[in-house]
Structure 1
Amino acid sequence: MHVPKGKKIYFASDNHLGAPTKAASLPREKKFVAWLDEVKQDAAAIFLLGDLFDFWMEYRNVVPKGFTRTLGKLAEITDSGIPVYFFVGNHDLWMNGYFEEELNIPVYHKPQEFTFNNTSFFIGHGDGLGPGDKGYKRMKKLFTNPISKWMFKRLLHPDFAMRLGNYLSVKNKLISGDDDAKFLGEDNEWLVQYCKRKLEDKHRDYFVFGHRHLPLNIDLTQNSKYINLGDWIQYYTYGVFDGEKMELKTFKS
């Protein structure tokens, strides 16, 4: 992808809209929509790296109600010709075509490689990567198992299923990641270790992830960086690539 002069690529992650309640998250949603309004002025593309919602479940003909400000703004942006890319997180991994069909937004379930102006990026949400976190990895296998998904959708009434999903997203620490609020040091950061192992196979200029809820900018080597985007709960941080360099910024409006 070529980034024209004066254009930028934007990255954001971990909004967790709907948590702890929809009413409590509404001010955050409005702030995020204001950010989308601002960045669309010079965006070449926008990357959303997961956990946009605190819980998301798609049925064949039904999606969760609410979040109309965000969904409407994303539709407006893609209709204007600005591409938006979405990577599922551990809270909104049960997507099944709605973003692609209704919003024209491609959805990725695994990290992907991109090249912008000869600068290489490895991009994903970040959950379940690297060593450790074995409890969550086992849970993710259960959540992504086709039989488990079928049973959840078919055996539970949608109203009850949504209430259960929202409850678990907030209360279950294996899902919510409540223990991930502090920097553990490079040697204990699973994503740092994951990125360093990936560099053994192939060079990437930037590894960009979410999930950790911490804005991080760490040198992996002299020419490679790991960037974590932080969140839109406490930090309101986002990434921006101007065609030459990537940096973290804070939205204050």
Structure 2
Amino acid sequence: MVLQTKIYFASDQHFGAPTAELSFSREQKFVAWLDEIKQDATALFLLGDLFDFWFEYKTVVPKGFVRVLGKLAELRDSGIPIYFFVGNHDLWMNNYFEKELNIPVFHDNQEYTFNGKTFLIGHGDGKGPGDKGYKRMKKVFTNPFSKWLFRWLHPDIGVKLAQYLSLKNKLISGDEDVKFLGEENEWLVQYAKRKLTFKHYNYFIFGHRHLPMQLKVGENSTYINLGDWIGYFTYGVFDGEKFELIEFKN
């Protein structure tokens, strides 16, 4: 694939947190960014946790986020491909995006090649060594029986409960700074290095950590974390030759 313009990447917006009112200004900023990139975007990758909570009942989805969803629909209708990777906060996403917005949804990493450069792309949760407690919890949450049980809660109860539990996450409530732990303690860095023992990738692109990072993990191989849209407002762009992390200032 020969690029004429640019591929954009963003992750961890967590819209709806800590409240719909306080999230609104961040949503407006993200919509402004989407408006800006539509001028030269070849594709857009959203790497999860767009929402702080998302659950698709058979006939109901969480209310709100109209401007964001409308802008994504506008970009997609204009012919720009959009790819969505579920995160740990919106892992209960099914086919709403696919049916309503024509946006494919992925539940695990995917491989791509652009301009001869190979990419491994995903949200990043549950990858690499450590974090065994979360990995066990993820198995519970992604179990079809667990989703079936939750579906029986009235949305007013289920959404409120999920939002409360989500805000217990200190990264979202703002009670904890995100700090670089050193390469040996960054699980996604270790994950990338291990993947390189089996296959070469030029770029590993993930979210989840909320911390913008670009680290060499091998010869001609770079691990990138996209940061977030809570404190950093960073995004990635690949122009066919190089990948950059950029802060959106508006």
Do these two structures clear the TM 0.5 threshold for a shared fold by scoring above it?
Answer: yes
Q: Which residue of 2 aligns with 1:222?
A: 219
Distance 1:94 1:178, change over 3 A: farther
- What TM-score, normalized by structure 2, do the two folds share? 0.97
Q: Which residue of 2 aligns with 1:165?
A: 162
Alignment of 1:130-145 (within 5 A): 130-145=128-143
- What TM-score, normalized by structure 1, do the two folds share? 0.96
Structure 2 Cα separation of the partners of residues 164 and 40 of structure 1: 36
Provide the secondary structure at the position in 2 that maps to 1:196: helix
Show structure 2 runs of 5+ residues with no match.
none
Q: Which residue of 2 aligns with 1:147?
A: 145
Q: Which residue of 1 aligns with 2:38?
A: 40
Q: How many residues align?
A: 250
CA contact (8 A) 1:136 1:174 kept: no
- Identical counterparts, % of pairs: 72
Q: Which residue of 2 aligns with 1:98?
A: 96
Alignment of 1:16-95 (within 5 A): 16-95=14-93
Q: Which residue of 2 aligns with 1:211?
A: 208
Structure 1 segments of 4 or more deviating over 4 A? 172-180
Structure 2 Cα separation of the partners of residues 134 and 90 of structure 1: 14
Give the C-alpha shift of residue 222 in structure 1: 2.7
Deviations 1:65-89 (Å, cap 9, x if unpaired)? 0000000000000000000000000
Q: Which residue of 1 aligns with 2:199?
A: 202
Structure 1 Cα separation of the partners of residues 223 and 146 of structure 2: 34
Give the C-alpha shift of residue 2 in structure 1: 3.3
Structure 2 Cα separation of the partners of residues 200 and 232 of structure 1: 33
Counterpart AA for 1:61: T
Bigger mean CA offset, 8-17 vs 179-188: 179-188
Give the C-alpha shift of residue 172 in structure 1: 4.5
Structure 2 Cα separation of the partners of residues 140 and 177 of structure 1: 23
Aligned Cα RMSD in Å?
1.6
Q: Which residue of 1 aligns with 2:228?
A: 231
Q: Which residue of 1 aligns with 2:179?
A: 182
Distance 1:17 1:174, change over 3 A: closer
Provide the secondary structure at the position in 2 that maps to 1:194: helix
Structure 2 Cα separation of the partners of residues 233 and 140 of structure 1: 24
Show structure 1 runs of 5+ residues with no match.
none
Deviations 1:79-133 (Å, cap 9, x if unpaired)? 0000000000000010111000000100000000000011100000000000000
Q: Which residue of 1 aligns with 2:245?
A: 248
Provide the secondary structure at the position in 2 that maps to 1:201: coil
CA contact (8 A) 2:141 2:147 kept: yes
Distance 1:176 1:221, change over 3 A: farther
Give the C-alpha shift of residue 57 in structure 1: 0.5
Structure 2 Cα separation of the partners of residues 130 and 178 of structure 1: 25
Give the C-alpha shift of residue 181 in structure 1: 1.1
